[in-house]
């Protein structure tokens, strides 16, 4: 390929401009791939947060709101639901299992979830994966036991049998601590890549015991206080929970039960299908996500336009080069082909650089992303879609290369063999 | 041996668009193996004439025939191919692609012309051998051959350009002021090398220059002013 050799030698001759151009394209390609990969991983991890649950039930509000606080631990419930309502549906003949959820406390920025043993038995994430313990055991009948999500344990450096104090409310800095009733760590869960990792799980009785001596949202003072030991003796049957997850014997009855819950006479309840609510939530986030994609596409376009500028502005000073080539027999289309190849070579180098930067970035950013955002970006080779994107970038570059190619074609026809500058 | 002229111009007329006729050459011939000095000051239409001989421009009337082939009757791609097959060029200065090595520069015509590549093969065994031989005959030190062309002196560059014009034995070598950047001593030395190589390759040499002092070295010398019947331009 003599033409390709010529194109590469000519590029090597203009090293500094070429390197900058390749760098600009490389950065833009890296940005696009990073956005794409993050987008897809977020979407995937999003969809895998909850699975196997047929209905989520909470106080009547919005479907997205209910999904956010019950599954993603984002935001707060507007209202609690009564224990009787939970029991009513937990014992419903169509219901196979129900997991009560009680939220509202936190520990150093991580949410605390009050639940029952059913959580460890029935909760599923990803592709029907059950929760697994990395060490220890699930909490038992003792109210002051806690099972940590993987991220809670690793970022706070907690070990089994340590005692921790929960805080009232969900603010990162809480003024009210339940320091009279510490919890003992009895288990640590394996990593799931879902909000479970960032949650502390305690028995419902524990939540109840924490608040047993509270009146009007304030802890009792002096004689009114109940110690942990006293609390153990009390009846810790919860009176309220925040929400519950429901699994059915047969998915066919999902809609029937949903209607039944929504029309429940005891109190206003809302039952949602997790899949539908996830879709609804994703369509809200989809706009931002697509905007990000469009922006990164434009950045790539800017990178390519930069290349076009570099090639076009080099044309004038390369008229002699073109004339020499013409005098040794290059036809005008050879000259045009040379410039298209140049654009192709620059873009190819840019794409390779972009891939290298992407994998370097993934390699470096993987651990912090996972620990801070629970986002796992795998170091996998580019998929069909990503190759497609890269191919489209390359094709666009060749198309753009046609512009300087056409200019050079015209120029070399006009200049002929000799040009005196 | 054929008596047909290598280059034959008949009633050539040429004008740039919107300008009066620049060239009118009723008759001009160059024989095979002949070396011709064509004298002309700048602005006399020299470059245009060379463009016409190379088929880069086409005459408004009349014919330019190289090896009996009327250039205007060929399509533009065929004209380009015909030119590189049969003509080698040496220009005033900056003849070489600075980013290629000396040897790669010399090889360029063989990359674009199958005919010249074949001839280089037939005569020297390979293109590489032809390059070695030509550069050796032109006195270019062997250690410079893989150097980038930009590292050579101007005199060396012109010798490389001559080697490039001669590789694959084109029938015609056109030299456009190739010595004007050289000092007087190297000028004559370069010319003698060029003559010797043209003779060895059997190529005719059309040498265009304004420097009358070189004329006696050639078989024949002409002035473009005598050749051209177009009204002389005023004000230049």
Tell me, what's the pLDDT at A174?
A: 60
* Residues in chain B closer than 8 A to A10 (CB atoms): 97, 99
pLDDT tens-place string over residues A21-32: 999 999 999 999
* Residues in chain A closer than 8 A to B167 (CB atoms): none
pLDDT tens-place string over residues B209-223: 888 888 888 889 888
Q: How far apart are CA A97 and CA A91, in angstroms?
A: 9
Contact criterion met (CB < 8 Å) for B98 and A2: no
Asked whether residue B161 is assigned to any structural domain, the reply reads: yes
Asked whether residue B173 is assigned to any structural domain, the reply reads: yes
Asked whether residue B199 is assigned to any structural domain, the reply reads: yes
* Residues in chain B closer than 8 A to A342 (CB atoms): none
Tell me, what's the pLDDT at A221?
A: 65
Q: How far apart are CA A307 and CA A330, in angstroms?
A: 24
State how far residue A13 is from chain B, nearest Cα, in angstroms: 6
Contact criterion met (CB < 8 Å) for A328 and B50: no
Residue A187 has pLDDT above 80, yes or no: yes
| CATH number (domain holding residue B49) | 3.40.50.300
* Residues in chain B closer than 8 A to A9 (CB atoms): 97, 99-100, 104
Tell me, what's the pLDDT at A171?
A: 64
The residues of A whose Cβ lies within 8 A of any Cβ of B are 2, 6, 9-10, 12-13, 320-321, 324-334, 416-418, 420
Tell me, what's the pLDDT at B233?
A: 53
pLDDT tens-place string over residues A383-396: 899 999 999 999 99
pLDDT tens-place string over residues B132-167: 888 888 888 888 888 888 888 888 888 899 899 999
B98 neighbors A318 (Cβ within 8 angstroms):
no
Contact criterion met (CB < 8 Å) for B50 and A10: no
* Residues in chain A closer than 8 A to B76 (CB atoms): 332
Q: Distances in Å between the alpha carbon of B162 and those of B82, B105, B151?
A: 20, 11, 17
Best B99, B100, B113, B165 residue to mutate vs chain A (most A CBs within 10 Å): B99
State how far residue A297 is from chain B, nearest Cα, in angstroms: 35
From A88-92, A99-103, B97-101, the region with the lowest mean pLDDT: B97-101
Residue A128 has pLDDT above 50, yes or no: yes
Tell me, what's the pLDDT at A20?
A: 93
pLDDT tens-place string over residues A274-315: 988 888 888 888 888 889 899 999 999 999 999 999 999 888
Q: What is the DSSP letter of A52?
A: S
Tell me, what's the pLDDT at A4?
A: 85
Tell me, what's the pLDDT at A268?
A: 92
Residue A178 has pLDDT above 80, yes or no: no
Tell me, what's the pLDDT at B232?
A: 60
Asked whether residue B184 is assigned to any structural domain, the reply reads: yes
Contact criterion met (CB < 8 Å) for A416 and B77: no
* Residues in chain A closer than 8 A to B50 (CB atoms): 417-418
A346 neighbors A307 (Cβ within 8 angstroms):
yes
CA dihedral B172, B176, B182, B183 (to 10 degrees): 100
Contact criterion met (CB < 8 Å) for A418 and B164: no
Best A4, A10, A17, A324 residue to mutate vs chain B (most B CBs within 10 Å): A324
Residue A421 has pLDDT above 50, yes or no: no
Residue A418 has pLDDT above 70, yes or no: no
In 3D, which of A252, A233, A274 has the Cα closest to residue A99? A274
Tell me, what's the pLDDT at B236?
A: 42
Query: How many CB atoms lie under 10 A from the CB of residue A340?
Result: 23
User: In chain B, how many domains are there?
Assistant: 1
Domain ranges of chain A: 2-46+286-415, 55-272
Residue B1 has pLDDT above 60, yes or no: no
Out of A2, A320, A327, name the one closest to residue B89 (CB).
Answer: A327
pLDDT tens-place string over residues A203-232: 998 888 887 776 666 666 666 667 777 777
Contact criterion met (CB < 8 Å) for B89 and A417: yes
Q: How far apart are CA A102 and CA A240, in angstroms?
A: 8
Contact criterion met (CB < 8 Å) for A324 and B97: yes
pLDDT tens-place string over residues B36-64: 999 887 777 888 888 888 888 888 888 88
Contact criterion met (CB < 8 Å) for B113 and A329: yes
* A&B contacts, CB < 8 Å: 67
Where is pLDDT greater, at B142 or A149? A149
Tell me, what's the pLDDT at B15?
A: 87
Contact criterion met (CB < 8 Å) for B94 and A320: yes
Asked whether residue B144 is assigned to any structural domain, the reply reads: yes
pLDDT tens-place string over residues B151-207: 888 888 888 998 999 998 899 999 888 888 788 778 888 888 888 888 888 899 999
State how far residue B97 is from chain A, nearest Cα, in angstroms: 6
Residue B13 main-chain phi, psi, to 5 deg:
-130, 135
Residue A17 has pLDDT above 80, yes or no: yes
* Residues in chain B closer than 8 A to A13 (CB atoms): 98-99
Domain extent for B22: 7-227
Contact criterion met (CB < 8 Å) for B57 and A13: no
Residue A255 has pLDDT above 50, yes or no: yes
Q: How far apart are CA A145 and CA A186, in angstroms?
A: 6
Rg for chain B, CA atoms, rounded: 18
Average model confidence (pLDDT) across chain A: 86
Best A319, A324, A328 residue to mutate vs chain B (most B CBs within 10 Å): A328
* Residues in chain B closer than 8 A to A6 (CB atoms): 97, 100
Tell me, what's the pLDDT at A259?
A: 94
Please state the pTM of the whole predicted model.
Answer: 0.75
ipTM entry: 0.85
A106 neighbors A164 (Cβ within 8 angstroms):
no
Contact criterion met (CB < 8 Å) for A329 and B83: yes
B4 neighbors B10 (Cβ within 8 angstroms):
no
pLDDT tens-place string over residues A302-354: 999 999 999 998 888 888 888 888 888 888 888 899 999 999 999 999 999 99
Contact criterion met (CB < 8 Å) for B56 and A417: yes
Question: Strands, E, within A276-413: which ranges?
Answer: none
* A297 membership: H or E segment, kind and range: helix A274-315
């Amino acid at each position: 390929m003599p033409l390709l050799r010529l194109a590469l030698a000519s590029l090597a001759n203009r090293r500094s401009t070429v390197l900058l151009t390749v760098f600009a394209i490389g950065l833009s390609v890296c940005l696009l791939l990073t956005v794409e990969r993050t987008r897809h991983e977020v979407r995937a991890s999003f969809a895998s947060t909850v699975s196997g649950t047929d209905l989520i039930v909470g106080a009547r509000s919005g479907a997205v709101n209910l999904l956010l606080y019950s599954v993603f631990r984002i935001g707060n419930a507007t209202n609690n639901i009564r224990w009787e309502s939970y029991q009513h549906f937990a014992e419903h003949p169509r219901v196979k299992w129900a997991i009560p959820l009680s939220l509202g406390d936190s520990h150093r920025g991580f949410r605390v979830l009050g639940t029952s043993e059913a959580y460890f038995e029935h909760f599923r994430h990803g592709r029907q994966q059950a929760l697994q313990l990395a060490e220890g055991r699930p909490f038992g009948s003792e109210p002051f036991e806690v099972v940590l999500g993987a991220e809670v344990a690793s970022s706070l450096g907690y070990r089994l049998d340590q005692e921790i104090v929960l805080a009232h409310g969900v603010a990162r800095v809480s003024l009210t601590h339940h320091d009279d009733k510490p919890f003992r760590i009895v288990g640590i869960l394996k990593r799931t890549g879902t909000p479970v990792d960032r949650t502390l799980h305690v028995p419902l009785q524990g939540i109840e015991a924490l608040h047993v001596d509270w009146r009007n949202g304030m802890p009792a003072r002096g004689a009114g206080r109940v110690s942990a030991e006293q609390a153990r003796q009390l009846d810790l049957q919860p009176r309220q929970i925040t929400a519950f997850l429901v699994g059915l014997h047969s998915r066919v009855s999902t809609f029937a039960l949903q209607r039944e819950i929504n029309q429940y006479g005891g109190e206003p309840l809302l039952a949602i299908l997790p899949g539908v609510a996830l879709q609804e939530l994703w369509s809200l986030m989809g706009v931002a996500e697509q905007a990000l994609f469009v922006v990164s596409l434009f950045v790539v376009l800017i990178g390519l336009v930069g290349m076009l500028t570099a090639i076009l502005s080099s044309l004038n000073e390369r008229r002699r080069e073109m004339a020499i080539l013409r005098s040794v027999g290059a036809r005008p289309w050879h000259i045009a082909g040379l410039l298209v190849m140049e654009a192709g070579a620059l873009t190819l180098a840019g794409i390779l650089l972009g891939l290298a930067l992407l994998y370097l970035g993934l390699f470096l950013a993987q651990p912090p992303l996972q620990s801070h955002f629970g986002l796992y970006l795998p170091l996998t080779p580019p998929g069909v879609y990503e190759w497609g994107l890269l191919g489209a970038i390359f094709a666009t570059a060749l198309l753009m290369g046609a512009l300087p190619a056409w200019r050079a074609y015209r120029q070399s026809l006009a200049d002929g063999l000799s040009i005196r500058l | 041996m054929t008596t047909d002229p290598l280059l034959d111009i008949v009633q050539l007329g040429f004008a740039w668009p919107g300008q009066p006729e620049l060239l009118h050459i009723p008759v001009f011939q160059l024989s095979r193996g002949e070396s011709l000095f064509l004298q002309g000051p700048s602005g006399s239409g020299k470059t245009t004439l060379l463009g016409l001989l190379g088929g880069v421009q086409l005459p408004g009337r009349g014919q330019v025939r190289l090896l009996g082939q009327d250039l205007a009757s060929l399509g533009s791609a065929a004209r380009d191919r015909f030119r590189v097959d049969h003509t080698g060029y040496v220009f005033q200065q900056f003849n070489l692609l600075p980013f290629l090595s000396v040897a790669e520069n010399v090889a360029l015509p063989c990359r674009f012309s199958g005919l010249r590549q074949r001839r280089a093969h037939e005569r020297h065994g390979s293109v590489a051998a032809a390059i070695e031989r030509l550069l050796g005959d032109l006195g270019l030190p062997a250690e410079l051959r893989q150097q980038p062309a930009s590292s050579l002196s101007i005199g060396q560059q012109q010798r490389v350009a001559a080697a490039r014009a001669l590789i694959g034995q084109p029938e015609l070598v056109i030299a456009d002021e190739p010595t004007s950047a050289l000092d007087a001593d190297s000028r004559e030395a370069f010319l003698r090398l060029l003559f010797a190589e043209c003779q060895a390759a059997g190529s005719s040499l059309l040498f265009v220059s304004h420097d009358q002092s070189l004329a006696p070295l050639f078989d024949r010398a002409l002035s473009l002013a005598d050749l051209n019947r177009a009204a002389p331009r005023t004000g230049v």
